[in-house]
Amino acid sequence: MFKNHLKIAWRSLKKQPFFTFLNTFGLAVGMAGALLIALYIYDELNYDKMFADAERIHRINADIKFGGEAMFSAEASAPMAEALKNDFAQVENSTRIRNQGSRLTRKENNTANIKEANTAYADVNFFEFFGLELIEGNPKTALEEPNTLVLTKTAAAKHFPSGKVVGETMILSNNETFRVTGVMEDLPKNSMLRDHGIFMAMAGYEDAWEGAWGSHNYFTFIKMIPGTDINEFQAPLQSMFGTYVVPYVQRYFPGITEEQFLASGNYFNFSTIPLTDIHLNSNAFVELSANSSIQNIYILSFIGLFLILLASVNFMNLSTAHSLKRAKEVGVRKTLGSNKSDLIRQFLTESGLVSFISLLLAIILASLFLPYFNDLAGKSIGIPFDSFNFWLIILVLTVLLSLFSGSYPAFFMSRFMPVKVLKGGGSNEVGGSAIRNSLVVFQFAISVLLIIGTIVVFQQLNFIQNKDLGFSKDQVLVINDVFTLDEQAETFKKEVERIPQVSSSTLSGYLPTPSSRSNTSFFQEGAEEQESAINMQQWFVDHDYMATLDLEILAGRDFSREFKTDSTAMILNETTVSVLGVSPEEVIGMRISGDLGEDDPQFYTVIGVVKNFHYASLRDRIGSLSMVLGNSTSRLSIKLNTSDLPGAIASIEQVWNKLAPGQPFDYYFLDESFNQTYEAEQRLGKIFIIFTLLSILIACLGLFGLAAFNAEKRTKEIGVRKVMGAKISQIAYRLTLDFLKLVGIAILIALPLGYFAMSKWLEDFTYRITIGIEVFVFAALIAVVIAIITVSYQSIKAAVVNPVKSLRTE
């Protein structure tokens, strides 16, 4: 019987190629889009699950407020890991990672450096802790001795393209000598350590062995013994504050108690986060690598689900629209003895056949567009054709989809009364208009919702890119690793400033773009109580920093070479002044020191107040900041005054090559660095556009199908109206108006949902847009225009038919 149903289904599909194409194409587009989204989500949800015992590994977080500054840190103090392992039986093991960012590296006998983008110090048990094997070397001893390191396979091939690797000597940052003790496989792209190429022995990093409980620079991981309830561990973990942190703080504030610390409005809370939750649920001050957001997963999950639902609804509408052409077939089959269940099985077989053909087409489409999707999403995912589970899941879901999509058309068409349809009078008696209209409303409500989402995402991105950040980021070229010039760094700066295309330049360590920084506690002269402490960042800059970045001085003055005393001068931002509780004018002349507990502290004299500028993400508020003169030569920032950027860069590179032959000329533009901070939002915006267009396409196919159904159902009415003198434009208008009412209902449903959803998304940003009425007007206008264009074809087609033919149809 099934074989017979299959033959009939195939013949039926072949007899109506255009209808079959619309149905198959709509389902295939929806399935392909959902498949790509599912692969993306699967990859995101599997971050860091490749590590051994990943379900038992947790990272220590520190949520701190002190000196007017609050900070949620993913890093802990150096002694935390060892103390946790020693003090708590629940902790099976612990390890630390100290991120070092980019480093210049070379083989011992080479003079030319190669830049390694991400490096880190790691404890001796690092490989054993995470279950990482080495291609060469012993994982238990590879990081045992100071000044040893392990390379990833890619890094080893880059530095030692041929020949021996283990035992070779490498020079880092031109002044540190390391011996290669191992080579490891590259870490997967869905790992927190995916971009790291070098792991150096923590044994040789002096700071790692100092008992500084107040400094947080180490990513600390603990592995709990099997069966431990991590929630019950939170209270014992918090006891570390009173046991270790408070005694350390007492060095600087003698006699202070935990109660006094908390009573002054400060707090110091430790917590844990599962290793496998970090990528989607952690947004700490500093992370090992860029994280995503669980909100993005929810958004993409809904989009994928909506695509499938839209495709299913589209199938239902097109099937019911075509049903009147098969009414007599149903009548004849019922007259010849077919019962309702036979007809339902027949129509479900057709639905299943269309679904499986769509599945094949969807896999082809997904395979073709996967490289572009990977580029868009910054992924390297693939379709797991060799996975049994993949095929099992996708086949089961296709069967369920065919049952869901085909159920309504099957029951709808099997209801036809043979007497009515064979007499030609059954078309108008066939119900279901409320359901079909509801389906169209659902489709367009989803489409409008996605249009609103797309508009808001791009408005926020445009707001970020055009917001007054308080500094000039345009045409600022940044040269990295200027420290390799040693004493010639200042010479390089002066020679660059002689180039006509250069307005000014500045040597500094920090720039106003998000990066890893740490705060320091300061106090006013004569106010050394912990209640009076100021927790702020300290940047070392030169005399030209303010001018090059166009920072605005609100009170006092900038650093000047005319004042020798400026070597101990300090400039504060507005946030710091507000924490001090004085006005910008009143803070001038105040003496501030960061040497807590020292017998002879060095004091800085405040000479100026700079207007607040954004030096972190717009998700975060502007924190306290101070700037002092210092010999920091990490990078040279150059303000250009020309449109010939390639020519200016070439001139600067010539100066670099003269002073630093063989050293990599590494540069970037400040605005590009700023935009990279919001790369995740930019990718989300592009993904929104693509899948919004897909949803609109599928919704239009559904509307097209219902318009065809409606026009066919009202053939006699149209003929009578034309005989009575109605114009083509009047008939087309009447037919179109019915669908615009449905679109209007969809818009009314989608607008509040869109406002709520996107308001929640914007909450992640401290500085954000306000969703204006123009967003909803524009989204509604797009939906109406698309609906008119889609329906007009069927409306005009029905209106121009000869009334004689229209009346004959009855």
Predicted local distance difference test score (pLDDT) of residue 433: 67
| 403: confidence class by pLDDT, cuts 50, 70, 90 | confident
pLDDT at 430: 47
Q: What pLDDT score does 622 carry?
A: 87
How would residue 663 be classed by pLDDT, with cut points 50, 70 and 90?
A: confident
Beta-carbon count within 10 A of 252 CB: 17
What's the pLDDT score for residue 496?
93
pLDDT at residue 12, rounded to an integer: 64
Unique residue bearing structure tokens 């198959």: 24
Compare 171 and 11 and report the one with higher pLDDT. Answer: 171
Q: Check residue 41 and give its pLDDT.
A: 93
Inform me whether the pLDDT recorded for 809 exceeds 60. Answer: no
Burial of 153 (0-12, 13-18, 19+ CB in 10 A): middle
Contact 627, 466 (CB under 8 A): no
User: What is the pLDDT, as a whole number, of residue 42?
Assistant: 92
pLDDT for residue 429: 46
Pairing of strands 569-573, 625-629: antiparallel
Specify the pLDDT at position 334. 55
Nearest by Cα to 592 from 579, 577, 582, 602 = 602
Please say whether the beta carbons of 403 and 349 come within 8 A.
no
How is 713-733 classified by DSSP, letter by letter?
Answer: HTHHHHHHHHHTT--HHHHHH
Contact in structure between 410 and 344 (CB atoms under 8 Å): yes
User: CA-to-CA distance for 810 and 803, rounded, in angstroms?
Assistant: 12
Model confidence over 477-534: pLDDT tens digits?
Answer: 999 989 888 889 999 999 999 999 999 999 998 888 766 666 777 888 766 666 677 8
Torsion-angle region of residue 133: left (phi > 0), alpha (psi -120 to 50) or beta?
beta
* pLDDT per residue as tens digits for the range 279-324: 999 888 788 888 888 888 888 898 888 888 888 887 777 776 666 6
Q: Report how far Cα 196 is from the mean position of its chain's Cα atoms.
A: 20
Q: How confident is the model at residue 654 (pLDDT cuts 50, 70, 90)?
A: very high
Instruction: Report the mean per-residue pLDDT for the chain.
Output: 84
> What is the residue whose two structure tokens read 């409008």?
448
Which has the minimum average pLDDT: 89-93, 97-101, 739-743, 768-772?
A: 739-743
- Cα torsion angle, 221, 226, 228, 231, sign: positive
- Token pair in block for residue 155: 């890094």
Q: Cα separations (Å) of 390 from 42, 355, 365, 402? A: 12, 17, 17, 18
> Is residue 100 classed as helix, strand or coil in its secondary structure?
strand
Q: Which residues contact 770 (CB under 8 A, 6 or more apart)?
A: none
Q: In the 3-class helix/strand/coil scheme, how is 565-578 assigned residue by residue?
A: HHHHEEEEEHHHHH
The amino acid present at 608, given as its one-letter code, is G
Q: Identify the weakest region by mean pLDDT among 315-319, 483-487, 614-618, 632-636.
A: 315-319
CA 150 to CA 134: how far, in whole Å? Answer: 9
Ranges 22-26, 67-71, 622-626: which has the least confidence: 67-71
At residue 64, the pLDDT reads 87
Radius of gyration of the chain (CA): 34
Average pLDDT over residues 347-354: 77
Instruction: Kindly provide the residue ranges of all beta strands, DSSP E only, lying in 216-373, ordered along the sequence.
Output: 219-224, 267-274
Q: Which residue has the tokens 């034309």?
A: 722
pLDDT of residue 410: 62
Work out the average pLDDT over 702-729.
Answer: 69
Give dist(CA 121, CA 574) in Å, integer. Answer: 36
Q: State how far Cα 684 lies from the chain centre.
A: 7
Q: Which of 120-129, 205-214, 704-713 has the highest mean pLDDT?
A: 120-129
* 512 contact partners, CB below 8 Å, separation of at least 6: 469, 470, 471, 473, 549, 613, 614, 615
CA distances (Å), origin 518, targets 32, 83, 241, 533, 625 = 46, 23, 20, 16, 11
Pairing of the two strands 603-610 and 520-524? unpaired
CA nearest neighbour of 455 among 239, 16, 214, 779: 779
The predicted pLDDT at position 199 comes to: 96
Token pair for residue 623? 């924190």
- 165 versus 619: the higher-pLDDT residue is 165
Provide the 3-class DSSP secondary structure of residue 88: coil
CA distance 636 to 542: 11
Asked which of 81-85, 346-350, 467-471, 594-598 is least confident by mean pLDDT, the reply is 594-598
Distance between CA atoms of residues 750 and 27, nearest Å: 23
Q: Are 620 and 284 in contact (CB under 8 A)?
A: no
Which range, of 177-181, 636-640, 688-692, averages the lowest pLDDT? 688-692
Residue 555 has pLDDT above 90, yes or no: yes
pLDDT band at 619 (very low <50, low <70, confident <90, very high): confident
